[in-house]
Amino acid sequence: MTDKLDVVTLGEAMIRLSPPNHQRLEQATSLDVVIGGAELSVAVGVARLGLRSSWVTKLPRNPLGRRIVNQAREQGVDVSRVVWSPEGRAGLYFLESGTSPRPSSVLYDRKDSAASRLTPGEVDWGFLNDVRVLHTTGIMPALSESCREVTIEAIKAAKKVGCKVCFDVNYRSKLWSPKEAEAVLTPIVKMVDVLIASDTATIWGVDGEPEQVVAEMKRRFGVPLVAMTTREDDGVLRTRSSSVAIADRPYKGRKAYDTEVVDRLGAGDSFAAGLIYGYLRGDLQTALDYGDAMAAYKATMPGDVNYATKEEIDRLVSSGENLRIQR
β-strand partners of 195: 167, 226
- With beta carbons less than 8 A apart as the criterion, state whether 214 and 244 touch: yes
* CB atoms near residue 220 (< 10 Å): 14
DSSP secondary structure letter of residue 93: E
In contact, 197 and 214? CB cutoff 8 Å: yes
Distance CA 21, CA 74 (A): 27
- Cβ 75 vs Cβ 50: under 8 Å: no
Q: How far apart are the C-alpha atoms of 301 and 262, rounded to whole Å?
A: 6
Active site residue 269: yes
Is residue 55 within 8 Å of residue 140, measured between CB atoms?
no
What DSSP element (H or E) covers 32?
Answer: strand 32-36
Among the listed residues 269, 289, 292, 304, the single catalytic one is: 269
H-state helical runs in 84-198? 139-143, 145-160, 178-189
Question: Distance (Å, rounded) from C-alpha 148 to C-alpha 160?
Answer: 18
The DSSP code sequence of 242-253 is: EEE-TT--EEE-
Contact, 200 vs 227, CB < 8 A?
Answer: no
The number of angstroms, rounded, from the C-alpha of 117 to the middle of its chain's C-alpha atoms is 20
CA–CA dist 25, 195 (Å, integer): 36
Which residues form the catalytic set? 269
